[in-house]
Structure 1
């Protein structure tokens, strides 16, 4: 189960002339390398949810992606591309001497993990794609379905504000809040690590790559689709999702059908953060997968 653990080491790594800060827990022979969501979020929420795997003998590594947390925060929007983040991830892996890793990508970190896996397949022991997608246009149709559950008048109101760019209007924000509590985290009180990450959100990368909120994709990733390329992922892959996830089980199934050696777990009573919403089912599934794919 998750808990706050102080990192055993804090590393400052130079990436593109900027400082990126990574955190390391434990000293096991196998590394779980965590890529958190956002874009623009510090890694607290995912780091704190997985550092507990040191109890199972793993080394756990996470890092604040450029623009987030303790890392440098440049304002050049040309830096906010998935390709540059792939190279940043590889720079961190090499700088820390991690060798082959179990790569865990959550949400936006899953998109990053997919592109990393297709670029540097030789560096992966396994791939864990959590609450993520590989086909953004398909996700947009799924988000339209989730939004429709609010009713036609509310959808029309949201579309009006999106056309006007008035994303901060109270009635629009109220609709987004309802969707967040249905499809991002269904707990009445969101865990402290989640709040820490959200309170330090850098909207620069987020707005450039995704959009103004979790339910409107208008950034530079809006047409991203790697489904045709997923058969090239040959490592064992675990795909997880919550039954109420904003990045829906239908999106997870598309990935599962495209990756040759993939298995899919859908967690009940959870949305986008099963590690906090349903830890009793989440952790055994993750640990079982990792234990079945230890290096020979």
Structure 2
């Protein structure tokens, strides 16, 4: 089960352009779980603190604050906010820490990054763990429209009107987004402290450039990203996890599973986007079982 833990090591890594990113390492040994958190623009707290407990099973766990977040540098050049540059950054961190081939965890946006990384650096990935994510963002956009539709036609019309005239900061629009967040991002009444820490320090620069203004409107430079046709190239064992009520829906997860030859899929019935917090008693046995089966 997750708990707050202090890292055994905090490492500063210099990446292309001379920027600094900060990595956190827990435990030791050759079996490394390398975590890529969601956002974009979120510090890694929520994913780092929900996966560092894997040290109890003898794994080393590494996470890092992606450029623009947390304790890493926060440049403002929007040209930096591309998935290709983040792939290069991820590889720079892996090499700087001497991690070898890793069990790569990607959650939400981190899953898109993990897929892109696995296709670019297949030698570096021992297994791939895709949590609450998708490989086809145009398909995800259609799924998000379906979730929005469940709010009712009047609410949908209101949201579309505010999006059309650029007034998405209006209280009624924000109220609809808040309701969607509690239905499809985290269904707990009280959100866990690591999640709140990440959300309270959200850098909207990368997020707005790459994704859009909120979780339910994709208009950034990733809106057309689709790796479905390339998934067959990922031949390592893959674990896909998703909440039944996830904003990145089970349909997105099923599409990924169909594309990868060694993928298995687990759906958590009472979770949305954070099963490690919402149903930890179900989530951790599945995750640890997968990792144990694929130790070297």
- Normalising by structure 2, what TM-score? 0.99
For 1:294, the equivalent position in structure 2 comes to: 295
Return the offset for 1:103.
0.1
Return the offset for 1:28.
2.5
- SS at 1:63 equivalent: strand
Instruction: Give yes or no for contact 1:22–1:62 (8 Å, CA) kept in 2.
Output: yes
**Deviation per residue, 1:14-38 (Å, 9 max, x gap):** 0121010000000132000000000
Return the offset for 1:165.
1.4
Instruction: Verify: 1:165 aligned to 2:193, yes or no.
Output: no
For 2:45, the equivalent position in structure 1 comes to: 44
- SS at 1:40 equivalent: coil
For 2:63, the equivalent position in structure 1 comes to: 62
Q: Distance in 2 between matches of 1:276 and 1:61?
A: 19
**What pairs up with 1:66-85 in 2 under 5 angstroms?**
66-85=67-86
Q: Distance in 2 between matches of 1:238 and 1:48?
A: 20
Instruction: Verify: 1:145 aligned to 2:146, yes or no.
Output: yes
Q: Distance in 1 between matches of 2:161 and 2:208?
A: 19
For 1:245, the equivalent position in structure 2 comes to: 246
Instruction: Give yes or no for contact 1:28–1:54 (8 Å, CA) kept in 2.
Output: no
Q: Distance in 2 between matches of 1:257 and 1:126?
A: 17
**What pairs up with 1:98-177 in 2 under 5 angstroms?**
98-177=99-178
Unaligned runs of 5+ in 1: none
Unaligned runs of 5+ in 2: none
For 1:3, the equivalent position in structure 2 comes to: 3
Return the offset for 1:194.
0.3
For 2:216, the equivalent position in structure 1 comes to: 215
Q: Distance in 2 between matches of 1:240 and 1:24?
A: 24
For 1:89, the equivalent position in structure 2 comes to: 90
**Deviation per residue, 1:95-145 (Å, 9 max, x gap):** 000001000000000000000000000111100000000000000110010
Instruction: Give yes or no for contact 1:167–1:173 (8 Å, CA) kept in 2.
Output: yes
Q: Distance in 1 between matches of 2:46 and 2:168?
A: 25
Return the offset for 1:245.
0.2
Return the offset for 1:166.
1.3
Return the offset for 1:56.
0.3
For 2:285, the equivalent position in structure 1 comes to: 284
